[in-house]
Amino acid sequence: MRLMGTRMARLLFAAACFTVASLAAAPTLAATKIQHLVTPGGIEAWFVQDATVPLVAMEYAFSGGAAQDPADKAGVGYMVASLLDEGAADLDSKTFHERIDRRAIELGFSIERDRLRGSLRMLKNNSDEAFGLLRLALTAPRFDTNDVERIRSQIMSGLRRNTTNPNALAGRKFVELAFGDHPYGRQTHGTLESIPTIKTSDLRDYVRRVLARDHLKIAVVGDIEPAALAKLLDKTFDGLPAKGDLTPVANVIAAKPPKRAFVPLDVPQTTVMFGGPGIKRHDPDFMAAYIDNHILGGGSLSSRLYHEVREKRGLAYSISESLLWMDHSDLFAGTTGTRADRAGESVDAINKEIQRFADNGPTQKELDEAKSYLKGSQMLALDTSSKLASGLLQYQIDNLPIDYIEKRNALVDAVTLDQARQVAKRLWGQGLLTVIVGRAPQAAAQPASAHTAPQPQPAAN
């Protein structure tokens, strides 16, 4: 949405400078030594010192996220994340980006339901300037009127496009179906109604409440000495409030299946999103569920759903499913696209295969093959400095131990066939929450020109 004009030029310039460095392999997992760094100022970080290339990558997150948006102003957090790098202190947006460009620094922010996340990547020699710019962005964002209105306009354009985007419409309806009036049921990027109402005072209030040190998680991988990193972290984050002022968010269980919703949209391909209540990250059966999900629909070409829906019946090009866990709830969710006149057949095939898996669970062969794949894929998931930093941040967010990387494969191996089958019944045996976006059944067999397109509600990612 925002990569246009000088922003695109900046990212292309940075990408050219980082092509070799950012693809350089991180330390092998067996040799990775993760340090729990505590700075003189009390800032904590997980740190891997790696001198393979002169690069430093940092990932960090503040608790809060889009769940902290006021009930009537969805999108405040997203606007903040979109504006934090649009000038700070005495540097306007143009000057701020020129400073970033000059040193090929990558600095960005994103919003999730529970967190505002940031990333910072730089060559070792540019560490002081990169961390200094980040400090200004976090502690003294400008929110100049011209920048606020430009970003608002870009967000509104994206939201308008999403009113005819089947995936966006499906995602919007799915979270509404699952979570109703809970903050998780709101749109992370806001709505066409809410974005125009957001004021600069709302942005500053969000920064005051969310950007604080008490729920800050940091992961750093790169070519820097621990003492030097500690000094930079203190200088960068010490200016933030010690404690945030977060609005409490209640725990919520996703709506009990089965439930189905239809969103009319005149397109030749129907989008189907399906799911249901998931499993908590610290549930004793989580790893069994994780392996089961890979077998059922984890995105691989060997998954049950892929075989049944794509290979056997030719109903879709792809189909996948994931486990999603948040601070206050959890889900499993999947998606596929199918021809409008075969949408009903596709939904029936998905329901039947998921129910069959719930009834019988995986075979021993499927379990063994899934374990082998998941143990090997961890190497690829953490094979660069940036990926490793992201992984270490997520482990902290999930409250996992600092030696989790070393323990993970043993946890995978420990899952038994009986456990996998019990979890399959528990997780997938309740039926599905299903959202269908496309033509009405009676019109699905007609060409698009034969009927008038209905008017869908606005939607956002």
* Domain boundaries 259-450, CATH class: alpha beta
Cβ neighbors of 271 (< 8 A, separation 6 or more) are 166, 167, 169, 170, 335, 336, 337, 436, 437, 438
> pLDDT tens digit string along 275-287?
999 999 999 999 9
Classify strands 106-111 and 115-123 as parallel, antiparallel or unpaired.
antiparallel
Whole-prediction pTM value? 0.88
User: Three-class SS string for 130-169?
Assistant: HHHHHHHHHHCECCCHHHHHHHHHHHHHHHHHHCCCHHHH
List alpha helices for 340-430, DSSP H: 343-360, 364-381, 385-397, 404-413, 417-428
At which residue do the structure tokens 């200004």 appear?
136
Q: According to the model, what pLDDT value does residue 26 have?
A: 56
For 188-306, strand residue ranges (E) read 216-222, 259-264, 269-277
> pLDDT tens digit string along 121-149?
999 999 999 999 999 999 999 999 999 99
> pLDDT tens digit string along 101-120?
999 999 999 999 999 999 99
Alpha-carbon distance 117 to 27, whole Å?
Answer: 24
> For residue 437, what are the β-bridge partners?
263, 271
Distance (Å) of CA 217 to CA 178, 211, 213, 396 = 29, 12, 9, 7
Q: According to the model, what pLDDT value does residue 97 have?
A: 97
Amino acid at residue number 341:
D
Amino acid at residue number 411:
L
**Where in the chain are the domains?**
6-237, 259-450
The answer to whether the 6-237 and 259-450 domains have the same CATH topology is: yes
Tokens of 377: 């894929």
Alpha-carbon distance 63 to 183, whole Å?
Answer: 14
CATH ID of 6-237, from 3.30.830.10, 3.40.1190.20, 3.30.230.10, 3.40.50.2300: 3.30.830.10
Alpha-carbon distance 111 to 360, whole Å?
Answer: 39
Residue 147 burial (CB count, 10 A):
18
Q: According to the model, what pLDDT value does residue 434 have?
A: 98
Q: How confident is the model at residue 72 (pLDDT cuts 50, 70, 90)?
A: very high
Please spell the DSSP secondary structure of 33-60, one letter per residue: --EEEE-TT--EEEEEE--SSSEEEEEE
Cα–Cα nearest to 33, from 398, 388, 374, 394: 388
Alpha-carbon distance 186 to 230, whole Å?
Answer: 38
Q: According to the model, what pLDDT value does residue 25 have?
A: 52
